[in-house]
Chain A
Amino acid sequence: MMTFCFTGIRSFPKLWKSNPYLGLSPGHPYIFLFLKDCYGIRSQQKWFSLKTASPQNTKAMNLLVARARSLQKGDEGRNKQVSSESHLFAAGAAKKRSQMNPQSRDHALLPVRNNIIQLPTKPLNSEEWDKLKEDFKGKANFENWIISQMAHHNSPIDVAKSLLAWVAIKNNGIVSYNLLVKYLYLCVFHKQTSEVFDVYEIMKARYKSLESGANTLLIRGLIHSDRWKEALLLLEDIKKAMIPSKKNYNDCIQGALLHQDVNIAWNLYQELLSHDIIPMMETLKAFFDFGKDIKDDQYSNKLLDILLYLRNNQLYPGESFAHSIKTWFESIPEEQWKGKFTTIQKSGQCSCCGKNIESIHLSPEEYEFLKGKVMRDVIDGGDQYRKTTPQELKRFQNFVKNCPPFDIVIDGLNVAKMFPKARESQVLERVVSQLAKQNLRVLVLGRKHMLTSRARWRKDEMEKVQKQASCFFADNISEDDPFLLYATLHSGNHCKFITKDLMRDHKACLADAKTQRLFFKWQQGHQLAIINKFPGSKLTFQHILSYDTVVQTTGDSWHIPYDEDLVERYSYEVPTKWLCLQRKT
């Protein structure tokens, strides 16, 4: 593990030098690797201090090693991937875009923090603790500080226990609540169940009620033991003052499943949903993992319900969850499912089974709904003067009504400012004429200042634009994006719009999550982004998705997109990897 990290670092400068097009080369595996390596080293440092601590950590170490290994492996694959191939909303695309930007390269190395006091690795007696306390120079309370550090570095519980014993001796046998909770954390972390019981007894006896932090820890500590039902009581305790967190529910459900109490688990799940909490993926995964050993139609139906929940909320399972889903499907005896991990072709066909994935286009009702919402929430927004004026809005609506539907709507300012060195009006004119040559009906949206002749906005070129396309110029202080959205929506499903803007602020204007998801779906299917590097070259667009990235079924097949563990996906991106499940007939 260590050697890997260091060789990784050492070999890095060589790679850096050998690649002259670092700023522009498509894949950027090297920078990516470098960042990841640093991360590895940092966490490595953390694990160092742990090494002596407990045998449980070997698991974590293995995980890290596996992570690093798959990183190396995945690297070659990533090399081939060209950035222009992935669409605007593909998982990891934003990260790549940001790495294209040379400025953001610098903050790779972060300082490593040092400890002031060496944390003890074995139990100390009172004198030793006294001495350590004398050495400690800091503002904070020594006991609090040291136990926080121990909790942070997951010290062995014997050490923590000796600290508590020392505190107790000094303090008439009383250990403060704060210390107890931190100690409890260590016990839970090291899975020392009997110790958790002891602390639980102490807390139960000493304090009438506990706060959420201790309750959470106790729940987590108790679920693995045969006293797991008490965890449910603790959950009830939390409910008295506030809504339990999704982690609390997760722990309780896991505990119930661990002890074969399926009903309690499902009830808790229902309760969780009724609080409008989005469950942790671990919770859902636990249901699937448990389902392998159960042959029960009702249970299977509930699992399918979970998949539909994922679909409706546009959630994507993680890699390990995807594996769990696959194993569960394959474990259904009579149905003979076959699962494969795959990707979807540009045409929207699954590379594995050849079936077509659901289209990205909205249904007519959804489309109308979205159109109304964009008009009401994004453009109007309760105050028409915020983004435009009523007069202008009327002018725009009349304009749109009197024009036949467009094929393409262009955000004039966004397109014109694509190349900082080229003249704005010239860029716009080129784009418009290239589109007009393809016999497309084009609408250019802009602001009035584009018409006043200046060095960057030449009159003759703007006139050419107006000849080749319909134009609408909004006031200089109005926003043009809402008009763009509405014009596109008004023209119908075939109409696309050109801008690089991700429209996140307008999406945020929409009232509820459901509408926002609709908007995002529509945007994925209709937004064209220009990816030309140079002003002169022929127009190329980032390829547009024709299929919808969402959990979906046809009855005897399931297609489930999932997040890879090693790809960082932003909230406005969608996964690129799929799980394809087929039933043999």
Chain B
Amino acid sequence: MPVFIKMSVSITFVRPFTRVLVPFTLNRKRRVLYSTILPRYMSSKIPAVSCPNKESTSPPKQLELDGWKITMKSSVQESVSTVSSTKDEDPVAATRELIEMWRLLGREVPEHISEEELKTIMECASKSSKKKYLKYLYVKEKMKKAKQIKKEIKAAAKEKAKKDQLLETTKEDKQQDFMFLRLWDRNMDIAMGWRGAQAMQFGQPLVFDMAYDNCMKPQELQSTVSQLLESEGWNRRDVDPFHIYFCNLKIDGPFYRELIKRYGEKWNKLLLTATEKSHIDLFPKDSIIYLTADSPNVMTTFKHDKIYIVGSFVDKNLQPGASLAKAKRLNLATECLPLDKYLQWDAGTKNLTLDQMIRILLCLKNTGSWEEALKFVPKRKHTGYLEISQYSQEFVNRVKKLKTFNSFPKGSLNIRTQKK
């Protein structure tokens, strides 16, 4: 069956080019046949010309202008006879044809399309959703192709380098002293595993609330899972990782299936807690803080004894207040990042991606500095950091002075003041 599908694809793909491949000489022969038709076209042409004076000055040019039509028409006859056998009524085939013609027109549609994708297209409710999906496939195909080309180039370069090296290594085959075998990646993995196990025991919990699976479309759900994967990766690499909880994760729900699909067999060895239970069952209610951009309360400091909750929710559909409603329902404290306080906001929503969120939280946890942490907010969304207000500047200075008094010996302080 798959072989058959492939074949049909290739046929539709090749078809438009068959005419190019058909030798031109054939047409020459046919021209004799068509010479009888030619006068008819000519005669039909004359009244249609828009500028009468042009026609009178250059009648031979006119002849030349229409010449292409005859070859266009004559080259056809063959191609029609070869294709006409395909069934006509099938809407799937019609859609395939339509997409093929769109491609000829230079629209953004993919070159190859699988039966499954075609079915998705047919199921799209509106014309614009069809176009959107086609564009998505087009971009995907393009990326894949570019990647393939890059890969080939790389492979060729590697091959070449290998050859060069072979020539070189024959010259010197000296033994060298090394302290370590080259097992960096594995060692890193093991070390991260240790840290992760430690975090599982003593780490601060960070909860991802997975209760939004019914608010999202498949596309959004997929990007949420991608972001979760990335967040988990950032957490793993950190010096002092969080103990991650996936709460409200329904077994065999869409989230669960997608996660299993992405992680593969690694899913069971992940150093995090995935549970069907809700976060309010696991933790005391008063230590929970739900992070949401809609919250009226602004987060001032990162508290090490609180449990922060991040909603795993990519909202492209603009449902404002979904997570705030969740927090209100359970009567939880909410906070939002102090983006406006520190950044000159420019464009885009205040909703950050999950991986940005976890990197900000990790940074806060380790350093406690907002300036440092908010570096992970995408640059395109803001124009720069805001000046810290006069008052807080003074406050900071005072604190710094105090510190210098305590930590520096008297002499060095004198030098500093003299410099001033």
Contacts and interface: CB of A to CB of B under 8 A. Distances in A.
Decide whether A and B assemble into one complex. yes
A504 interface: no
B418 interface: no
B328 to A, nearest CB: 4
A241 interface: yes
A205 interface: yes
B130 interface: yes
B45 A477 contact: no
A167 B71 CA distance: 12
B325 A173 contact: no
Contact of B24 (A54, A172, A198, A211): A172
A211 B101 contact: yes
B44 to A, nearest CB: 5
A157 interface: yes
A198 B104 contact: no
Nearest to B71: A173
Contact of B106 (A144, A162, A205, A241): A144
A291 B127 CA distance: 33
Contacts of B104: 176-178, 211
B101 A205 contact: no
Nearest to A195: B48
A281 interface: no
A175 B72 contact: yes
Contact of A178 (B79, B106, B127, B325): B106
B48 A385 contact: no
A125 B50 CA distance: 19
Contacts of B76: 202, 205-206
A206 B18 CA distance: 11
A162 B98 contact: no
B63 to A, nearest CB: 10
A395 to B, nearest CB: 15
Interface stretch (A102-110, A186-194, A253-261, A330-338): A186-194
B296 A208 contact: no
Interface in A160-214: 161-162, 164-165, 167-169, 172-178, 181, 190, 192-195, 197-198, 201-202, 205-214
B323 to A, nearest CB: 11
Given A156-B50, A209-B101, A214-B101, A174 B72 contact: yes
A173 B27 contact: yes
Interface string A388-401: 01000000000000
B51 interface: yes
A353 interface: no
Contact of B94 (A125, A174, A241): A241
Contact of A192 (B50, B101, B296): B50
Contact of A208 (B49, B77, B97, B102): B97
B233 interface: no
Contacts of A583: none
A209 B24 CA distance: 24
B381 interface: no
A213 B98 CA distance: 10
Contacts of B101: 177, 207, 209-211, 214
A122 interface: yes
B73 interface: yes
Given A161-B66, A168-B67, A168-B72, A386 B77 contact: no
A123 B130 CA distance: 40
A230 interface: no
A476 interface: yes
Contacts of B47: 194
Interface string B109-141: 000000000000000000100100000000000
Give chain B's interface residue range (CB within 8 Å of chain A).
Answer: 35 or more
B408 interface: no
B19 A174 contact: yes
Contacts of B61: 123, 125, 162
B256 to A, nearest CB: 24
A158 interface: yes
Given A164-B68, A205-B76, A385 B41 contact: no
B20 A476 contact: no
Interface string B47-87: 11111001000000100111111011101110110011010
A519 B72 CA distance: 59
A211 B325 contact: no
Nearest to A190: B50
B95 interface: yes
Interface in A413-447: none
Contacts of B77: 205
Given A209-B94, A385-B329, A168 B71 contact: yes
A385 B83 contact: no
A209 B329 contact: no
A206 B65 CA distance: 19
Contact of A174 (B75, B80, B127, B328): B75
Contacts of A165: 64-68
A211 B99 CA distance: 8
State the 3 A-B residue pairs at the shortest beta-carbon distance, nearest first.
Answer: A173-B71, A168-B68, A211-B101
Interface of A: 54-55, 122-123, 125, 144, 156-158, 161-162, 164-165, 167-169, 172-178, 181, 190, 192-195, 197-198, 201-202, 205-214, 240-243, 245, 383, 385-387, 389, 476-477
8 contacts: A156-B51, A161-B66, A165-B66, A174-B20, A208-B83, A213-B105, A386-B325, A389-B328
Given A172-B20, A178-B106, 6 more contacts: A165-B67, A206-B75, A214-B101, A241-B97, A385-B324, A387-B321
